[in-house]
Amino acid sequence: MFNYLRKRFTSHITERSRRRARLVSKDGRCNIEFGNVEEQSRFVFLIDIWTTILDLRWRYKMTIFISAFLGSWFLFGLLWYVVAYIHKDLPEFSPSINHTPCVENINGLTSAFLFSLETQVTIGYGFRCVTEQCVTAIFLLIFQSILGVIINSFMCGAILAKISRSKKRAKTITFSKNAVISKRGGKLCLLIRVANLRKSLLIGSHIYGKLLKTTITPEGETIILDQVNIEFVVDAGNENLFFISPLTIYHVIDKNSPFFHMAAETILQQDFELVVFLDGTVEATSATCQVRTSYIPEEVLWGYRFAPIVSKTKEGKYRVDFQNFSKTVAVDTPHCAFCLYNEKETKAKEKKGYDNPGFVMSEVSETSDTKM
């Protein structure tokens, strides 16, 4: 029992360390941080304030949203209180009956705050109002109204843009949990399954991949996260996919593929991360979106293929069974691409005949002398 728990704990720690080493998580988030960024570079985020607000998490965005409105209401409430104080409209100054205040019915800081709120959100209860006797109050009213429209437009626009970002549409695109390597069309291929969970299409979809690994150049330079292009092919065509049902994309492992020198016995010892991208345009909003995921060596299954997922019912409808979406089936597969191509070359040579110039055929004359 103790040994079992120790193995489980060790495997859990190993898996967590592997997970930390990912550049791209399974749900597409990038695991990277920037250190020693100069203060001048940080100021650029304030210049591009719109993108900074959009990239913030919801809890920070809502904090800024609430603080912007409450802060502006309270700030202008103080200004209205100052105007009433300077004009001696407050009750502690005991104004005369003929005294005309700048703002009617402001008796203190609380009433000034309420008037500021009513002015900025254009409620207008009618109990408090600006009189024509005070030019300062009129200019302050105009300034607060204009600034209130700007704050309202910016903050509400940021909330709406956050909700309608195409990044949320990408959540309805899913990749298979594992990638598999098996024969397809007589070639050794790496296969990945991708599905669109919505009936609305992604227009102009394009799928490609990047293999991230650490390489050492002939000059001795170590390049971490060196990127190698991985071309993926779809039987229906790699451009303008009809992405209404799950598709199986595959990468042919030929002599130009970085997987060519890997084998079933050595792939788990490799140090790489395969990042797969799907770019497309959302049909409803015409906004572009990108979906991405990654696979590490433990998630690449050699000698497997995906189970069937699409069937046709008796009513003539096509049914997609997502229970088999990531399910795999073991199949006979060469343990390396090099062996597969050598096997093909050997079989091709066996079908051919070869002339031996050094071979001389000697004719033997047969005698008809036969003694009885």
| Cα–Cα distance, 290 to 177 (Å, whole number) | 18
| Cα–Cα distance, 326 to 307 (Å, whole number) | 8
- Weakest mean pLDDT among 6-10, 120-124, 172-176, 220-224: 6-10
In the predicted model, is pLDDT for residue 183 greater than 50?
Answer: yes
What does DSSP say about strands 318-320 and 222-230: parallel, antiparallel, or unpaired?
unpaired
**Largest alpha-carbon pair distance within the chain?**
164
In the predicted model, is pLDDT for residue 368 greater than 70?
Answer: no
Average pLDDT on 260-275 reads 89
**CATH number of the domain at 56-164, out of 3.30.559.30, 1.10.1510.10, 1.10.287.70, 3.40.50.740?**
1.10.287.70
Residue 54's alpha-carbon distances to 50, 114, 156, 160, 290, in angstroms, are 6, 31, 12, 10, 17
Tell me the pLDDT tens digit for each residue of 290-340: 889 999 999 999 999 999 888 888 888 888 888 888 899 999 888 887 777
What is the per-residue pLDDT for 372?
43
Tell me the pLDDT tens digit for each residue of 268-293: 888 899 999 988 888 777 778 888 99
Domain ranges of the chain: 56-164, 169-350
Query: What pTM was estimated for this model as a whole?
Result: 0.68
Confidence label for 11 from pLDDT (cuts 50, 70 and 90): low
| Cα end-to-end distance, the chain, whole Å | 92
| Cα–Cα distance, 205 to 368 (Å, whole number) | 83
Confidence label for 48 from pLDDT (cuts 50, 70 and 90): confident
What does DSSP say about strands 300-302 and 247-252: parallel, antiparallel, or unpaired?
unpaired
CATH number for the domain running over 169-350: 2.60.40.1400
- Weakest mean pLDDT among 82-86, 233-237, 320-324, 345-349: 345-349
State whether residue 282 is helix, strand or coil. Answer: strand
What is the per-residue pLDDT for 224?
83
Helices 58-86, 109-120: axis angle to 10 degrees equals: 120
Please report which helix (H) or strand (E) contains residue 247, including its range. strand 247-252
In the predicted model, is pLDDT for residue 364 greater than 60?
Answer: no
| Cα–Cα distance, 91 to 80 (Å, whole number) | 15
Quickly list DSSP for 299-331: GEEETEEEPP-EEE-TTS-EEE-GGGSS-EEE-
Q: List, in sequence order, the alpha helices (H) in the chain.
A: 2-20, 39-47, 49-55, 58-86, 109-120, 135-163, 337-350
In the predicted model, is pLDDT for residue 180 greater than 90?
Answer: yes
What is the per-residue pLDDT for 149?
93
In the predicted model, is pLDDT for residue 240 greater than 80?
Answer: no
Would you say 131 and 102 are in contact if contact means Cβ atoms under 8 Å apart? yes
What is the per-residue pLDDT for 296?
92
| Cα–Cα distance, 198 to 245 (Å, whole number) | 9
Tell me the pLDDT tens digit for each residue of 70-100: 999 999 999 999 999 998 888 888 888 888 8
Q: Which residues, at least 6 apart from 117, have a Cβ–Cβ distance to it below 8 Å?
A: 73, 77, 123
Count of residues making up the chain:
372
What is the per-residue pLDDT for 243?
76
What is the per-residue pLDDT for 50?
83
Average pLDDT on 238-266 reads 83
